[in-house]
Chains A and B, each alone.
Chain A
Amino acid sequence: MLEAARVTKRFGGVPALRGVDFLLERGQVHALVGANGAGKSTLVKVLSGVYSPDEGLVFHRGRPVRFTGPQDAQQRGISAVYQELSLVGSMSVSANLYLGKEPRNRLGMVSFRRMHADAERLLDSLGIEVDPRRELRSLTLGQQQMVAIARAANTDSRVVIMDEPTSSLEPDEVETLFEVIRRLSERDVSIVYISHRLLELFQICNTVTVLRDGQVVHTGRMCDIGPVELVSSMLGRDAADIRRTGTTAFTHEHTPAAQEVLSARQLGGSSHADNVAIDVHAGEVVGLGGLAGSGRTETVRAPAGLRHPGRGTVEVQGRQVRTGSPSAAIEAGIVLVPEDRTGQGLVPHLSVRDNIVLAALPRLSRFGLVSQSKQDGLVHTLMRRLGIQATGPDQRVSELSGVNQQKVMLARWLALSPKVLLLDEPTRGMDLDAKAQVQALVEELAGQGLGIVLASGDLAELVEGADRVIVLREGAAVAELQGDQVTADAVRAAIAERGT
């Protein structure tokens, strides 16, 4: 269907792809994996007409092609669904599906009746249960993702490229997506599937290509390779080594102390997280598991003062903290790294320096004037301690990679010497290497006696990182696992168990 042969693509002289061969056959579901920066996105953009290759050729249906742009590729039946959805929230589902190619009646007006009918047929054929008349933004993120995929699959597409389609999906939505992919594949549509969630690949893909540093290091049938071998070829690390230490960087070298740093009760107030209590000891990592919507995020945000927990109470080292106020929580030593780094954490266009000192400004000031020398000393120390990679403290934080942005967030809080660190999905959207860097830092901070709450949807991270895991369902704590009980199977069982 679609093939790249000896494709090389450079950006400012730096090669992002080096002689890459990639063959996508009819009806294939082809996994494309690699660490961030391995060249996945570049390859996908070459295949979908966004970039043209510097060297090498792209073949479409056996003939060499030069796409003039993404529209050209789309007209030839190649469409891509990217992580950021390009849909219009205020319009109906069917209007989104037929944007720019609306069916018309004889007067040349848009025929909404036909559009809705067509949309219904299309969604039905893919097994997507969404009312085409509904406004797009009233749907869940997962449903919106389905609409985007349906739109890509709609236009007589022969090739659909999906970049991280499941990053915002719930497990049952992932199942629906897989069903859609299966149906497309049965219709001989070829699919390129990119995901950091390795286990999914084994469920849905039949072929895999691994990229590392812009080169293909492995290509073959999915059933011929195991998860560990896949990770080892992605990272260029020894397979035996990965089997021994796991895929995360947690080592469990820290030991929880007897002293309790955080004691939070009745983190309710709303319908969610009603009876949840969290106690954290110094040097302990407490994991919070559960599906999105289980109250995981609400629970981790409440002690930080970002949500008013009604009658709930929060104590730090036995001392009561005023609830519902971020500044009171911070004052007491409770800090939160929010899930949405750029939206709720960083000030994107300000420098690394400004972002690091943001919360510490009053401590660096005298009579309201910020001491430059104190500030620069602090920034220098923290950048070195956390290994923040930037051209310097003046670089804009928006220009940094995800892992370095997360380190800037951590640096902002470490500047305040906190007692309790709340982490909400701290490694979301990062590749394995980046995740490992953040996890190693979490491990180190626990070793230094911080009490840590780790809310995560990543089972491996919870199981390997936490000393104790609290599992939430529908706003209530349904299980607390400790010591040897903390296994992936036990957590999965607690998460999935249906209520009586």
Chain B
Amino acid sequence: MTITQSRLSAFTRDYGVYAALVLLALSNVLVTRDFLTVETLREQVILLVPVLIVALGMALVIGTGGVDLSVGAVMALSAAVLPLSLDYGVVPAVMAGVLTGVLTGMLSGSLVAFLKVQPIVATLAVLVVGRGIALVIADGETPGTGLGVDVPTLVLVAVALIVVVSVLAGQTTFGRQLVAIGGNRTAARYSGLPVNRVLLTSYVLCGSFAAVAGMFTRLTTSDPSRTGELIGLSAITAVVAGGTPLSGGRIRVLGTVAGAVLIQLVTATLLENGAPASVAQMVQAVIIIAAVVVQRGTR
């Protein structure tokens, strides 16, 4: 590959997501009816925020060179736990919800950090367990409709979490160590970094973020085991499309945000223009493949 080619692909990797986003938004303004109405935007924000929150946590795990497939199950679990504790008040209920994420994250993280299980296998196992428990808890009943938070609060929480993760990834000891571990785990260990602690923490954070997202999700199905079914894929797509390599060693937080918005916008565009949901899912698969191909050879 020549220098200009690799520069071009590095540029595409770093900024392609923003370009795609602008193009898509512009074409929507022209093509899609009622695109710029308050109602459409509200609707989009409600759908976007859970994916975004999950993707932020996912970016941390992917930065270590891992991946967390259990996020959808964790969402379902926290969504199922929430109504059980709502009687004691909103704050304890939210804490209980987040706790489910912390616990599942600890489980995945321990498997990965201490037992050296591959992240895909570890989190796949946690996914299956999580879905099972969610099903038992809900016991076939229709749970509530999440926290029923209004749109401004949703946006506020999302922005707060974006800031937190940005600072965490770029400015803290934890974030810098995390990126180094993703870049070269042996070198990190030899340099005395607390590798296991950082790995564990990243999975706990990812689980907690997923749990928060689960409580914000408006349930569209009576079967809680289906909550967040494909959100893992969406989150991974958002992270990778935003320029974070699956091989780890690098985290792009704003890119992840743009990636999440892009996916939501693509889905919305397709649905608004009459395409079936199955097609929207397939398009997402195309995006993730395209993002990985663009990243190939660059780092």
Contacts and interface: CB of A to CB of B under 8 A. Distances in A.
Interface string A359-394: 101100100111000000000000000000000000
Main secondary structure of the interface of B (DSSP, over half): helix
Contacts of B179: 350, 354
Interface in A342-364: 343-350, 354, 357-359, 361-362
Contacts of A327: 192-194
A39 interface: no
Of the listed residues A345, A361, A362, the one surrounded by the most CB atoms of chain B closer than 10 A to its CB is A361
B249 A349 contact: yes
Given A349-B250, A354-B180, A370 B191 contact: no
B252 to A, nearest CB: 14
A306 interface: yes
The secondary structure that dominates the A interface is helix
B177 A347 contact: no
B104 to A, nearest CB: 24
Contacts of A361: 173, 176-177
A482 B102 CA distance: 59
Contacts of B167: 369
A368 B299 contact: no
B171 interface: yes
Among A327, A329, A347, the most chain B Cβ lie within 10 Å of the Cβ of A347
A358 B180 contact: yes
A40 interface: no
B107 to A, nearest CB: 25
A326 B176 contact: no
Interface in A310-361: 326-327, 329-331, 336, 338, 343-350, 354, 357-359, 361
Interface centre among B179, B188, B191 (most CB of A within 10 A): B191
A413 B283 CA distance: 49
A326 B299 CA distance: 28
Contacts of B191: 326, 330, 358-359, 412
Contact of B190 (A306, A348, A354, A365): A306
Interface size class of chain B, counting residues whose CB lies under 8 Å from the partner chain: 20 to 34
Contacts of B174: 368
Contacts of B187: 343-347, 358
Contact of A338 (B177, B190, B192): B190
A421 to B, nearest CB: 14
Contacts of B172: 365, 368-370
A350 B249 contact: yes
B115 to A, nearest CB: 19
Interface string B150-167: 000000000000000001
Contact of B173 (A348, A362, A412): A362
A347 B180 contact: yes
B299 A349 contact: yes
Contacts of A358: 176-177, 180, 187-188, 191, 193
Central interface residue in B172, B177, B180, B190, by most chain A CB within 10 Å = B190
Contacts of A329: 192
Interface string A110-130: 000000000000000000000
Contacts of A346: 184, 187
B184 A348 contact: yes
Interface in B189-247: 189-194
Contacts of A370: 171-173, 176
Interface string B276-291: 0000000000000000
A76 to B, nearest CB: 27
B186 interface: yes
Contact of A369 (B171, B186, B192): B171
Interface of B: 167, 171-174, 176-177, 179-180, 183-184, 186-194, 249-250, 299
What 3 A-B pairs have minimum CB-CB distances, sorted nearest first? A347-B183, A330-B192, A327-B192
Interface of A: 304, 306, 326-327, 329-331, 336, 338, 343-350, 354, 357-359, 361-362, 365, 368-370, 412
17 contacts: A326-B189, A327-B193, A331-B192, A338-B190, A344-B187, A347-B187, A347-B188, A349-B249, A350-B179, A358-B176, A358-B180, A358-B187, A361-B176, A370-B171, A370-B172, A370-B173, A412-B191
Given A350-B183, A412-B191, 7 more contacts: A346-B184, A347-B184, A349-B250, A357-B176, A358-B188, A359-B191, A370-B176
